[in-house]
Chains A and B, each alone.
Chain A
């Protein structure tokens, strides 16, 4: 009990000191806060609407685009990652090396270079929007990281587990689906979540190819209005909120992963 109090005391002391420094810095800079001017970019009052407000352009355009890019490229990244991981582990010599080459090349290239490269060299005749390019590049880039996470998860399943599965009469594919994958998924889930959080934040780089997502809009508005802090601070909060939502989602997935087994084996028996 005493050590708990001591721990809390020192943490409070630390945060108080940091807060003091920040507040003093903000006062000393002579910055003139104008939150009321920034507010309309997030929310505009609308008495006639059910909620009493409309979403401002930052949320209605920027955030929605960010969400769309993140969701699409996350799906693509998971798929790419799984395919690359399986190719690296179970593919023939050519596909194995192809997967290895892809993972290494993509992972060792700055995302910005990759984005600009694809943006400039994709033929105009393909008619890809900047947003579509951002989704593709982001999906591929994060997918290369996810491939390594999945691979580690699959390698982490002991060989004895495969053997046990085969001895029970499961075919390699069923052993993979019923025995290896659930164990690998549980191993991989935490790093996959942190990679997904990276993906959401990395989606802000789409601004350099003129995709009007949250960061690009914020940048424009902040410089138009000379309100950098009033715009960027809440935007940082929004990214934080997105990350927290992802973590919460993962937590629920983890619970359902452990609950779903009975149903899955029952189903497998019926096949």
Chain B
């Protein structure tokens, strides 16, 4: 459905992503695992059109090569990003943040339905609907970022470290929610530091090291791979 081939990302003189190729099949959960600075965020930012200088190709079923398109065009093709570090709009309320998430849509009823759906996924957000985004706790902001990405009714949801800053109980909850969203037919590209949980729910996984893919396989394969166990699963 989405296929990234030989992607390179540069920041000035820094060569952050050095020829990554990924395949994301429709309806799957695909996860990127890797140490800090491996280039995971850079990869999804490139898909979203946020990185200026990158080469390679990103082929999206029905849309051809989307590399080089503007972010606002890419979100319209059905790819949404919940960015690293949340980046919710602090001066807008929870409700308004969700509303803006549906900015590209015109189906008022569909939007209202999806908003209720997001609120049912994250009841905490419903309690806080009229609170300014900037005054939410870190974990609540994270939920809002995920909810906002869902509001554009995307086919592919890219989640950059959605469990960051969440309490352990909520981490389990968010993984359950990711699985649930996937079961509704949405394709998911998941970046996680919590390699065990991510690999457990992933159909397909890629291990990144300093800008290149060093291992790939199904979630279960990598979960039992001795190298992965040693490097990412603490044993």
Contacts and interface: CB of A to CB of B under 8 A. Distances in A.
B99 interface: yes
B50 A161 contact: no
Q: Chain A interface residue count: which class?
A: 20 to 34
A183 B103 CA distance: 19
Nearest to A169: B104
8 closest A-B pairs (Cβ-Cβ)? A166-B71, A169-B104, A164-B87, A160-B87, A169-B75, A169-B72, A265-B96, A169-B103
Contacts of B71: 163, 166-167, 169
Interface string A258-271: 10011001101100
Given A163-B83, A168-B100, A168-B103, A183 B75 contact: no
Contacts of B99: 265-266, 269
Contacts of A266: 99
Interface of A: 160-161, 163-171, 178-179, 182-183, 186, 258, 261-262, 265-266, 268-269
A167 B91 contact: no
B50 A167 contact: yes
Given A262-B96, A269-B99, A167 B83 contact: yes
B82 to A, nearest CB: 9
A261 B93 CA distance: 9
10 contacts: A160-B87, A164-B87, A164-B88, A166-B72, A167-B48, A167-B50, A168-B104, A169-B104, A262-B96, A265-B100
B33 to A, nearest CB: 23
Given A261-B96, A265-B99, A170 B72 contact: yes
Interface in B77-105: 80-81, 83, 85, 87-93, 95-96, 99-104
Contacts of A178: 100
Given A165-B89, A169-B71, A178-B100, 4 more contacts: A160-B87, A169-B152, A258-B91, A265-B100
